[in-house]
Structure 1
Amino acid sequence: MAIKKRPVSPRQKMINLMYVVLMAMLALNVSTEVLEGFSLVEESLQRTTRNSASENAAIYGDFEAQMKANPQKVKEWFDKATTVKRMSDSLFDYAQELKVAIVKEADGDDGDVLNITRKDDLEAANQVMLAPGTGQGKKLFDAINSFRERILTMVTDERQRAIIASNLTTTLPKGAKTMGKNWQEYMFEDMPVAAAVTLLSKLQSDVRYAEGEVLHSLVANIDMKDIRVNKLSAFVIPNAQTIVRGDKFSAQIVMAAVDTTQKPKIYIGGREVNLRDNTYEIVTGRTGDFNLSGYITMQNGSGDVIRRDFSQKYTVVDPSATVSADLMNVLYAGYNNPISISIPGVPLTKVSATMTGGTLQPTGPGKYIARPSAVGQDVTINVMSLQTGSARPVGGFTFKVRKLPDPTPYIQIGDDRFRTGGLAKRSLMDAKGIKAAIDDGLLDIPFTVLGFEAVFYDNMGNAVPMVSNGDSFTQRQRDTFRRLARNKRFYITRITAVGPDGIKRTLPASMEVIVK
């Protein structure tokens, strides 16, 4: 049943805030190393984006030169290139504005995207991207979709179209859809500042990549082979520039304007290497910054051997993972606790996890339900990467296990929950009985009421208890309600209830009802 929440008083809001802060201080499990891992990924993305922007700028320069030399032939494609630049810069700059806004929300007006202080802040991204009325998440979602649809109209190669569409997709995984989340909630809800900034940097990198793919297609349309051959360059296309130690680094080595009738010769470390499909692979064994360099040779139409050097930097980082409980990093025994698990640089479909001291059930990519079996017995969630084809341990995360808090009793009055104070007799007579639930702004967990006692007072001041074996008012209790005069009061006490954890408890709280 949908429940209409009653307005929360300023005092209750303060209590809720103190509860959140206390729980966070006691149970926060996101490590500094994980957040620093996002910094490494961010730096790598920035390097990739700068390289793409530099290459795109060179192509724009070629367009301008050709426009001056032969405007009649080039104008149509030059205008399209100008449109691509305007579209790409618009989305790129918007993503940068969001990064700045999120960092300033976390660190204040002096916040610096390149030097984030509160990397673990979980509220800044929520405020900027998801705040009702002002959240930018839906606007970003629409901007990405518009850019993707317009940019794909300028690409004819199906492989390129598939890559661009995949990089800029806003389609949610099945697990996110079943939870009723939209794209912006799935991407930014409860996301640390470091991770939110990295996601936006990834978007900027994808925008520059798509821009470059379109520019190369436009160049081919105006037959700029002479310029491309005159400026023949070697390129290294890696599968990623930031690699988790133990995973495989893969890079394709190619030369621009390659003649498909002949195979280039590739030299690494001064020796010729025979690569399958021009793809270089090596298993990374240690962390640090590395450089794949060498040169490539090929004959031109005149039979001359052309040599071009290549160089590609990449970073290998230590394995790291993120495990966060969706309910304030607190696990409750006998209860289905939502858990999010991810490994930077590893697709969610390639992440696996197990848990000691209970069960861990996957519900979607990166989403799990943790159910500890015993109160006071710590549980450990062990995370593994499947990216290399076999399970490789990444880290273990230990959580304290607590009993569910006691619920609060109430009387259901329409869509409202009456807890104590004045109550109209008509409403009292219409009520069916007593209910109980944890409803503190963070949890909303119903309990089953097993029994309670209604205590009335006669004209002599003597207490008259009436017991109910269940959650419903007895006929005797209802008859007494009917005879109560205005401003008479009675009490609901000794309420027993059982929650989803199966623990039976007698609630310390009592309810005072004043008949109005």
Structure 2
Amino acid sequence: MALNMSKEVLSAFGLMNEKLTESNTLSTQRNSAFMAGLAEKVSEQPEKYTPLKEKADQISALSNEFNDYLDKIKAELLEGRDDPTDYEAMDKGDELDAKFFEGGVITASAQEFLDNVTKYRDGVSSAIRSVKEVEPTVADDVDKTFKTDDVKDGDGVTKNWLKYNFEGFPLVASLTKLTQMQADVKTTESKVLSALLAGQQASELSFSNYEAIVVPDKTAFFSGESFKGRIVLGRFDATLKPTKVMVNGKEQTEVTNGQIMLDFPAGNVGEREVAGELQFKEGDSIVTIPIKSSYAVIPKPNSAVISADKMNVVYRGVNNPMTISIPGVPSVNASAPGLKKLGGAGKYMMNVTTVRAREVSIKVSGKLPNGATVSDSKKFRIKDIPRPVGTVRGEDGSIKMARNAVEISSIGAILPDFDFDIKLKVTGFKFKVEGQPTVSVNGGRLNAKAKSALRKAKRGSSVQIIDIKAQLTTNAGYKLKKISPVIVELTN
């Protein structure tokens, strides 16, 4: 039986899944950097590092293959969902139960999943144990982390590992577990790569192989601020102290833990250079390492940038997408009636259906890197959805049509030239034939009385579809303006 969870718990699982996904992305970047560093070692000392690089490639390939497989499983579970971040709607585990436990029996897909876990665990564990530079405990951790033996629950009952971890759980919980497995894969790969590189540091390398890196405290500075940052060596060593440091024509003397600390006026708005050199004494000679970098000085922002993605007004009855940001400020707070923040950076959705006023103000604030607060507000006009137009077989206005075509056609309503792609559902209308009583119809097609009246109409006469009633498919409670009628001239 599926576990019952509150909406808050479901959302918490979803947020945890997002955090793990972000962490996995950073881990991937870090592991890629490790691989690039090991490749550099191979180019410098191929005989020493090639065997380690081959082993790292093997572990990386196993990790990537298993990670891609888990991505595929998650994509299949989310297939058909309009909003993969609607965690409160993921309160059931039907998708995964059907995939893994159909009829209470482990399916072929479930066995494939277990086989992939086993392949990754045994492959990585075996590869680790064959490398003397890596502690055996790392392989032990892999065996323990990806163990699929039967487990005992809190009542001491032995259960199948797959059923214990996945059967009957809400979809969002299972997705989070799969993402956690990916995090374990990334962590394992990182441990192994770190051990491979840490065990082969070449302290005898010459200073000429070092590269000076300028690391600003931030990527851009406001006019009037002081530039703050540090210079570090590509092969960082806290014990290193250069003989002499020159930056922009001035000697720098503050060195902390191998880092040259910088503090000077940022300058005027525009692109600025940091240039100079580091000098190290190596034997009887002086090795010079050039310093070359740049940074941008930008004007201090004093207003927010707020724009409606599709129009310069907001409409009642629909969700209005908004983009809200402040130049130079990484994170802002925005508030207004009906305004809701979405997952993307600066992305919001605004629904003003219940706002009675003709205007709405959006207030925005944010903190600059120096701690100062910037705030602003903008007004948007609120408008109702335009008057819809009635249609017969998708045609509107005054049209010509055969009698039998009218009889089987659907009556609809559209919003021509409206920026939002929203659908209208006709709930009823009145049908008027010349010389016949007006017929009221429920739904979007002619009923028996309307068809009877239509058959009595003369050739070339006109029939009218009037008083059309419709509603938004996404907001049935919103009251639309009166819908324009359709006049059909019969051709037979």
Question: TM-score scaled to structure 2, two decimals?
Answer: 0.47
Structure of higher RCO (CA pairs closer than 8 Å, 6+ residues apart): 1
Of structures 1 and 2, the larger Rg is shown by 2
